[in-house]
C-alpha cells in the first residue's frame, strides 16, 4: 500500500480566533496530521500530549496567570489526546480570549470526553474536524488496484496500520488489539463501566444486524440487560467512534418508519474482529450487510472529507418498502440502493411520489468506484 493522501488537513481548517478540535478514533492519524501541520509553522511551536504531567498541572490549576504565562511562550499550540487534561476547555478559553492571534489545535479520541471538557467553555470559540479511517479516495491507488484489493478492504477495514501491513495474520492481530486494548478499554474507562462482557455482547448483537433496523428491546432480551443500559452503551460506542447511528427518514407520513435506527460500524474490520469472522467473501452469509456497511461508511467518509456531509438516513415503510441510504444536503435529497450482485433496482413507488425531486442511484460492484472515488459527484 502506498502512502495515504489525506483529503483533510489542519492548515485548511485553522481559523483566527477559533480553536480547532480534531476528533476521531484512536490510531487513524490525528497525531500525524497535527505534527505535519506543526512542522510547517514559523515561530514558537509547542507539541504536547494529555499524558504530560506539567501540562495537566497547568490547566488543572485553573489559575489565569499560570495558564496565560504558559501560553504567552508560544505562537502555535498543539495538544494531542487533550481529553485527558482536566479543565482544558476553561484554560483554552482563557488563552484564546487573551491571545486571539494564536493557533490552538486539540485532538481527542472521544467526542464525549473532549466535548465535556471544551463544550461549554469554548461555545462559539471552536471548530471541529472529524478524522476517520482511510477512505478509498485517500489510498493512493488506481481503480484497478482498488478493485483488486476490495476483498481485503471488506475483511480487514481501513485503519492506516492495517492497510500498511501485508501479512493477513498480522492484520487480524492488529484489529483484535484495537478492539480489546483501545476501543473497549477506552469505553470502559470513560464511564467506569463494570461489565465489559455485556458491552461486548451488545456490540456483537449490532455486528450481526448490520443493514437491519435495531430494536433496543430485542438486544436487551438477547444480552440479559434492561433497555436503558443498552441505549447507554450504544451511545457510548457511538461517541467513541466504534459505531454510527442512522435514523429513518420521514416527513411524518403515517406509513414511514422514523423512530427505529440502524447502526453501522465506523470500520468493517473492527466489525469482523468483534465477531471473529475473517472468512473469504464467497463463503459468508453476511456479505449483503457487510457490503452495505462498507458502502455507507465510504459515502460518509467521502462527504465528510469534502466538508459538508449532510445528514444520513435510511427509509422504510411499514409495508416493507425501503431505500438503504438517504442523504439530505445542499445538493438536495439523494437516495442510494446498495446491491452486492445486482446492478438494477426499482425505485419504490411511494418514495417517487413522496419525494419526486430526489435522485436515485444503485451502488453495486460494477459502479462503486465511480461513485466513491470519482470527483464527479462534488
Residue ranges of domains in the chain: 11-130, 141-372
Q: Give the integer Cα–Cα distance in Å for 134 and 1.
A: 12
Predicted confidence at residue 377, as pLDDT, reads 46
> Three-state DSSP class for 91?
helix
Backbone angles phi, psi at 43, to 5 degrees: 115, -160
Confidence of residue 378 (pLDDT cuts 50, 70, 90): very low
Task: Give the model's confidence band at 317: pLDDT under 50 very low, under 70 low, under 90 confident, else very high.
Answer: confident
* pLDDT surpasses 60 at 137: yes
Q: What is the pLDDT of residue 341?
A: 83
Q: What is the pLDDT of residues 24-77, one digit of tens each?
A: 888 899 999 999 999 999 999 999 999 999 999 999 999 999 999 999 999 999
The answer to whether residue 310 scores a pLDDT higher than 60 is yes
pLDDT at 166 over 70: yes
Enumerate helices (H) and strands (E) in the chain, giving the number of each: 17, 11
Question: Quick one: which of 268, 245, 247, 267 has its CA closest to 256?
Answer: 247
- Return the pLDDT at 84: 85
Taking residues 209-219, what's their average pLDDT?
Answer: 90
Average per-residue pLDDT in the chain?
89
Torsion sign, CA atoms 328, 331, 334, 338: negative
Average pLDDT, stretch 106-127? 73
Residue carrying C-alpha cell 476528533: 23
Are 17 and 103 in contact, with CB atoms under 8 Å apart?
no
Contact between 61 and 34 under an 8 Å Cβ cutoff? The reply is: no
C-alpha cell at 241: 467512534
Q: Cell numbers 490525528 label which residue?
A: 30
Q: At what angle do helices 88-98 and 64-71 cross, to 10 degrees?
A: 60
Q: How confident is the model at residue 221, as a pLDDT? A: 94
Q: Average of pLDDT values for 99-118?
A: 79
CATH class of the region 11-130:
alpha beta
Strands 261-265 and 243-248: antiparallel
Cβ atoms within 10 Å, residue 225: 18
Question: What does pTM read for this prediction?
Answer: 0.92
d(CA 76, CA 44): 6
> Which of the pair, 100 or 345, is modelled with greater confidence?
100
- Are 71 and 33 in contact by the 8 Å Cβ rule? The answer is no
Predicted pLDDT of residue 113: 59
Q: 247 pairs with which residues across the strands?
A: 261, 313
Q: What's the mean pLDDT in 330-351?
A: 90
Q: What's the grid cell of residue 249?
A: 427518514
* Residue for grid cell 471541529: 128
Banded model confidence at residue 189, pLDDT cuts 50, 70, 90 = low
> What does DSSP assign to residue 136?
G
Per-residue pLDDT at 136: 96
- pLDDT at 2 (0 to 100): 57
User: pLDDT digit string (tens) for 359-370?
Assistant: 999 999 999 999
Instruction: For residue 2, report the phi and psi dihedrals to the nearest 5 degrees.
Output: -75, 170
Amino acid at each position: 500500500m502506498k502512502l495515504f493522501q489525506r483529503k483533510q488537513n489542519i492548515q485548511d481548517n485553522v481559523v483566527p480566533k477559533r480553536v480547532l478540535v480534531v476528533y476521531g478514533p484512536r490510531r487513524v492519524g490525528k497525531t500525524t496530521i497535527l505534527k505535519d501541520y506543526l512542522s510547517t509553522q514559523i515561530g514558537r511551536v509547542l507539541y504536547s500530549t494529555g499524558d504530560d504531567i506539567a501540562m495537566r498541572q497547568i490547566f488543572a490549576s485553573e489559575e489565569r496567570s499560570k495558564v496565560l504565562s504558559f501560553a504567552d511562550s508560544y505562537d502555535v499550540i498543539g495538544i494531542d489526546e487533550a481529553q485527558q487534561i482536566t479543565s482544558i476547555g476553561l484554560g483554552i478559553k482563557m488563552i484564546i480570549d487573551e491571545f486571539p492571534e494564536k493557533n490552538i489545535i486539540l485532538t481527542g479520541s472521544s467526542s464525549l470526553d473532549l466535548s465535556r471538557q471544551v463544550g461549554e467553555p469554548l461555545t462559539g470559540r471552536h471548530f471541529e474536524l472529524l478524522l476517520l479511517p482511510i477512505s478509498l479516495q485517500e489510498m493512493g491507488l488506481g481503480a484497478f488496484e482498488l478493485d483488486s484489493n476490495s476483498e481485503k478492504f471488506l475483511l480487514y477495514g481501513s485503519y492506516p496500520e492495517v492497510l500498511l501491513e501485508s501479512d493477513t495474520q498480522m492484520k487480524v492481530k492488529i484489529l483484535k488489539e484495537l478492539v480489546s486494548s483501545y476501543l473497549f478499554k477506552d469505553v470502559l474507562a470513560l464511564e467506569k463501566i463494570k461489565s465489559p462482557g455485556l458491552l461486548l455482547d451488545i456490540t456483537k448483537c449490532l455486528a450481526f444486524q448490520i443493514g437491519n433496523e435495531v430494536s433496543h428491546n430485542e438486544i436487551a432480551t438477547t444480552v440479559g440487560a434492561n433497555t436503558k443500559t443498552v441505549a447507554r452503551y450504544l451511545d457510548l460506542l457511538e461517541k467513541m467512534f466504534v459505531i454510527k447511528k442512522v435514523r429513518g427518514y420521514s416527513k411524518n407520513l403515517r406509513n414511514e418508519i422514523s423512530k427505529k435506527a440502524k447502526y453501522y460500524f465506523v470500520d468493517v474490520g473492527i466489525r469482523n474482529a468483534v465477531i471473529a469472522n475473517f472468512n473469504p467473501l464467497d463463503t459468508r452469509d453476511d456479505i449483503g450487510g457487510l457490503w452495505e456497511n462498507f458502502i455507507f461508511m465510504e459515502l460518509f467518509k467521502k462527504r465528510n472529507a469534502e466538508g459538508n456531509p449532510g445528514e444520513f438516513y435510511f427509509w422504510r415503510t411499514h409495508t416493507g418498502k425501503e431505500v438503504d441510504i438517504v442523504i439530505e444536503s445542499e445538493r438536495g435529497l439523494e437516495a442510494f440502493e446498495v446491491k452486492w450482485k445486482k446492478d438494477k433496482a426499482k425505485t419504490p413507488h411511494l418514495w417517487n411520489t413522496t419525494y419526486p425531486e430526489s435522485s436515485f442511484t444503485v451502488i453495486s460492484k460494477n459502479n462503486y468506484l465511480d461513485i466513491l472515488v470519482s470527483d464527479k459527484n462534488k
